[in-house]
Structure 1
Amino acid sequence: MRAAWLSAVVTSGSTTLINIESNRDAHLDGLRGLAAVSVAVFHFFRSFDNDFLFLNAPLHKNLLSALWNGHFAVTVFFVLSGLIFMRKFYQGELLDCLRGGLKRYLRLVFPIFILSMATFGLHALGGFYNFEAASRSGSDWLIKWYRYEPDFWLAIKEPLWSAFFSFDAAHTYNANLWTISYELLAVFSVIALGFLCRFIPKLWQFVLIASFMAIGFQTRYFDFFVGAALAFCLIHFRVSLPIWAGAILVAFSLLVVRFNQPSLTHIQIIYLEYPLAAMTLIAAAETCRPLRVLLSQRVLAFFGRISFGIYLTHMLTLCSVASAVFLWTGSLWITFLAYAAVTIPLSVLFWRALDAPWMAFLNAVFRVKKVKPVASLQSA
C-alpha cells in the first residue's frame, strides 16, 4: 500500500507530479480548471467591482463573458461529476458502489477539514478584512462573511457534517461549501442510479435516468442527472465529431451562458439553460478530438490539477489578503494581482501537500480498479 501511495506522488523526471488518478481525462481536467478560475474571477468582481457584473455592458454580451460567469462554472462542475460517477459505476457491483460512496465522503472531508482549521486560525488572529473592504467597495456579498466570533467547534463540525447536511451560509468557514452537499448527496444518487442499471435492460435504464432527471428538475440535483444521462449516451453510442461541429457546439453553449441575459428568468437560467449548455460543452469536449487536445494543453492541465484548491482557497484570500490590499491601495487591478499572486501558489501548495497525497492514499486503500473501456473514463 505504501509503495502504491508513494508512486502516485513522486515526480517522474520532471517538476510535474504524476497524475494521481491515472485514468483521469486531461481534457475534462482542463474544463474543470477553467471552471475554477471562472468562479474565482466572478467572486473577485462580486467583491470589489460589483457594478461591473450588473451593468448592461456590451462586454457581457460576447461569448467570452462565460469566463466570468461563476454560476455557469458551478453547473459545469456538477454536470462533470454526474458524468464521471455514472461512467465509473454504471452497472457496478454493490460492494464497489458502497466503497465508492465512502471514498467520495473521505475524499471531500479531509482537505476541507484541514483548510477549515487554517481558516479558523486566520479568523482568530484577526486576519479577515472583508467587512471593511466591502464597506468601501459597496459589495453586498463580501460583507456577509466571517461576521461572527471565531468558532472552533464550527471549524470541526462543518467539514465533517454540517457542510453536507445542514449548511448555514451565514455561519460558515467557507461560503463555497454550499456546493459540497450536492457533490456528496447527488453523487450518492448517481452511484445508486448506476447500480440500478445493472438489473434492467437498456430501454428501462433510459427511462430510469429520465425519471431521476424529472424528479430532480428545478434543483441542482438535475445537473448531476444531466451528466449521468450524457454518460449513458457516451457509453452506448460512439461519436466522433469533426472540428467544425465541435466548434458549433462550443459556440452554442457559450452563447446560451453569456453573462448578461435579461430576457430569461433566474429559474430558467440556473435550472434549465445552464445544465443543458454544460452538457453540450462537455459533449463537444468528449467527442471532438481537436477540442480534447486543446483542453489538454499544459496550462489548462495545471489549472485542472489545482482546481479544487482554487475553489476552496480563493474565499480565504479574498477576505484576507485581497481585502487588505484593496483597503491599502484602493486599486482594483493591484488588488487582483495580489489576489492571483496568493491564490495560485496557495492552491498549488494545497494540491501538492494535501490533495494529491490524500487522493493517492485513498486510491491505495480502496484499490481503484480499472473499469471496462467503454469510453474515456475518469476516476472518482
Structure 2
Amino acid sequence: MTAPLPPSKAGPLPAARVTSLDGVRGVAACAVAAFHFLYAFRPDVYARDRTGFSLEDLPVAALWNGHFAVAVFFALSGFVLAASSPRSLREAPLMIGLRYVRLAVPALISSAIAWAWLTGFPDAGRAAQALSGSSWFRWTYQPPIPPLSQALWEGGIGVFLDGTTRFNNPLWTMRAELIGSLLIYGSYALLKGRTRAPAMVLGMVGFGLAEVYFLVAFCGGALVFELRDRLRDNAPVGWLLFALALTAGGIIPGHAAGGGLIGPVWPYLGAYGVCDIAAILLIVSVLITPGLRGFFEHTLLQRLGEMSFPLYLVHVPLIVAPAAFVFDRFSPLSPLGLAG
C-alpha cells in the first residue's frame, strides 16, 4: 500500500511511501500480540476497576495495549485508503471488490491454520484457562473443534457478515476494515477536492456521537491524508502530541476513578473513542517530528512493518494452541510443575 510522504518545511514532497508509518504498523502488530499473550496467561494486567499505580498506568503500556494498537491500525488504514482512493465512481466497485479479496484470502488462510493448531492441541486452551483464570479463552473454540469447512467459511465469508469467529478471534477487525473501505472508497468516489476534508470531519463527529468509534479512526486517518500538505516539521509540537497520544490512548483502560485533579479522568484513559482520537494524534506526531520518523524508519521496525499483517493473523492460534500447551505443562501450578 502506498501513501504520500509528509511535506517538509520547503513544501509538499512528491507521492511516495511513508516508510515511518510502516514502522508504526509493525510496533502496533507486536502490541496486539503482547496484549493477547498477557490476556491469556496474565489476565490480572487488564483487571477492571484497578486501584493504585502500576506500569499499566504509564504511557509505556501502549506496547501491550491491544485496544490502542487496533485503533492505530484503523487510522493507518484510513490514511492508506485515502491515498489509494478511486478517481471516479466507476472505479469504486472494482476497488472495493479487490479490497475484499485482499482481506478475505489471508483471513481464510489464517482460519485454516487456526483450525490445524486447535485440532492438534484441542485441550490446551481449556487447561491453560484453568491455570490462569483468563476469560479470554472463551473467544476460542474448545473441544469438539468444528470441521475445517466451518473454519474456511468463517475466515473467508462469515467473519465479514458476523464480525466474529472463534477460530481466530482477531479476525473481527476484517469486517471493520471492509466497512471502513466501503466508507472511504465510496465517499472519495462521490466527493472531490476540498469537500473531502470537511466530510471526514463530519464523519468523525457523526460516528463519534453514534459511538461507532472504529469509523472515527478511519475518517481521522483519511483527514490526516487530506491535510498532509499543510503539515510541517515541528518537533516540539510533535513530541507533545506523541506524549498526549500515548497517555490518552496507551494507558490500559479500566482504572477506577480516584481523587485529586487526575482521579476523575483515569477511567477514560485508553477507553474506546479516546484511543481512536489518540491514534490519529499519534500519526500526526510521527509525520511532523523528524526524530520520530527516523525512529520508525529503523530497519528493524521496517521489517516488523512488513511482517505486521501475517503476525496479526497467526499469533492467536499460536497462543491458544502450542503456547497454551507449553504453559499447561510447565506452569508452577500444573501437575508437572507441582511434581517438579
TM-score interval for Structure 1 and Structure 2 normalised by the shorter chain: 0.7 to 0.9
CA contact (8 A) 2:268 2:274 kept: no
> What is the aligned partner in structure 2 of residue 367 from structure 1?
none
Rounded Cα–Cα distance in structure 1 between residues aligned with 2:268 and 2:174: 21
SS in 1 for 2:80: helix
Cα gap change, 1:270 to 1:181, in 2 (>3 Å): farther
| 1:294 shift after superposition | 1.1
Pairing partner for 1:132 from 124, 127, 134: 127
| Number of the residue aligned with 1:188 | 182
Of 160-169 and 262-271, the range deviating more from structure 2: 262-271
Q: Is the 8 A contact 1:209 1:229 kept in 2?
A: yes
Q: What does 1:101-112 align with in structure 2 at a 5 Å threshold?
A: 101-112=96-107
* CA offsets 1:218-255 (integer angstroms, 9 cap, x no match): 11222211212222221xx4322233332111111111
Change (3 A) 1:130 1:266: farther
| Distance across 2 between alignment mates of 1:100 and 1:178 | 21
TM-score (norm 1): 0.74
Identity %: 27
- Give the 5 Å matches for 1:14-93: 23-54=16-47, 55-56=50-51, 57-89=53-85, 92-93=87-88
Deviation at 1:28, TM superposition (A): 0.8
Deviations 1:327-367 (A, max 9, x none): 111169xxxxxxxxxxxxxxxxxxxxxxxxxxxxxxxxxxx
Cα distance, 1:126–1:255 mapped onto 2, change above 3 Å: closer
Deviation at 1:161, TM superposition (A): 1.3
- Assess if the C-alpha contact under 8 Å between 2:78 and 2:219 holds in 1: yes
Q: What amino acid is aligned across from residue 255 of structure 1 in structure 2?
A: T
Letter in 1 for 2:200: I
Q: CA RMSD in A?
A: 2.4
The 3 A distance-change label for structure 1 pair 103 and 114 is same
How far off its partner does 1:123 sit? 2.9
Query: Which residue is equivalent to 2:218?
Result: 224
Q: Which of 202, 205, 217 is residue 196 of structure 2 equivalent to?
A: 205
Could you tell me which amino acid in structure 2 is paired with residue 176 of structure 1? P
Structure-2 separation of matches of 1:239 and 1:207: 17
- Cα 1:208–1:162 change in 2 (3 A) is same
Aligned partners of 1:222 and 1:271 also within 8 Å: no
Unmatched runs of 5 consecutive residues or more in structure 1: 1-21, 333-380
Corresponding pairs, count = 303
Read off the aligned partner of 1:194 and give its amino acid letter.
Answer: Y
Residue of structure 2 equivalent to 1:175 = 169
Q: Judging changes above 3 Å, is the alpha-carbon distance between structure 1 residues 144 and 156 closer, same or farther for their aligned structure 2 residues?
A: closer
Q: What is residue 234 of structure 2 aligned with on the other side?
A: 242
Whole-Å Cα distance in 2 between the matches of residues 268 and 137 of structure 1?
A: 26
**2:298 maps to what in 1?**
297
Equivalent AA in structure 2 for residue 326 of structure 1: F
Which stretch shifts more, 188-197 or 26-35?
188-197
Contact 1:165 1:181 in 2 (8 A): yes
What are the ranges of 5 or more consecutive residues in structure 2 without an aligned counterpart? 1-14, 258-264, 334-340
Matched, 1:256 2:252: no
How far apart in 2 are the matches of 1:67 and 1:266? 19
- TM-score normalised by structure 2 residue count: 0.82
- Residue 23 of structure 1 and its aligned partner are, at CA, apart by 4.6
Deviation of 1:308 after TM superposition, in Å, equals 0.8
Structure 1 CA distance for aligned equivalents of residues 155 and 68 of structure 2: 25
Question: In structure 2, how many angstroms separate the alpha carbons of the residues matched to 1:290 and 1:268?
Answer: 26
Deviations 1:232-289 (A, max 9, x none): 221xx43222333321111111111222543458788544311111111101112223
Cα distance change, pair 122–205 in 1 and its aligned pair in 2 (3 A): closer
TM superposition shift of 1:213 = 2.4
Distance 1:233 1:262 in 2: 37
1:95 Cα shift? Answer: 3.8
In structure 1, give the amino acid aligned to 2:182. Answer: F
- 1:120 maps to 2:120: no
Change (3 A) 1:310 1:165: same
How far off is 1:127 after superposition? 4.6
Structure 1 distance, partners of 2:163, 2:279, is: 26
1:195 & 1:265 partners in 2: Cα distance?
Answer: 41
User: CA 1:130 to 1:92, structure 2 compared with 1: closer, same or farther past 3 Å?
Assistant: same
Q: Counterpart of 1:92 in 2: which secondary structure?
A: coil
* CA–CA distance in structure 1, aligned partners of residues 329 and 23 of structure 2: 35
State how far apart, in whole Å, the 2-side matches of 1:181 and 1:128 are.
29
Distance (Å, rounded) in 2 between the aligned partners of 1:205 and 1:118: 40
Q: Given residue 202 of structure 2, which amino acid in structure 1 is its aligned partner?
A: S
Deviation at 1:303, TM superposition (A): 0.9
Indicate whether 1:94 and 2:101 are aligned: no
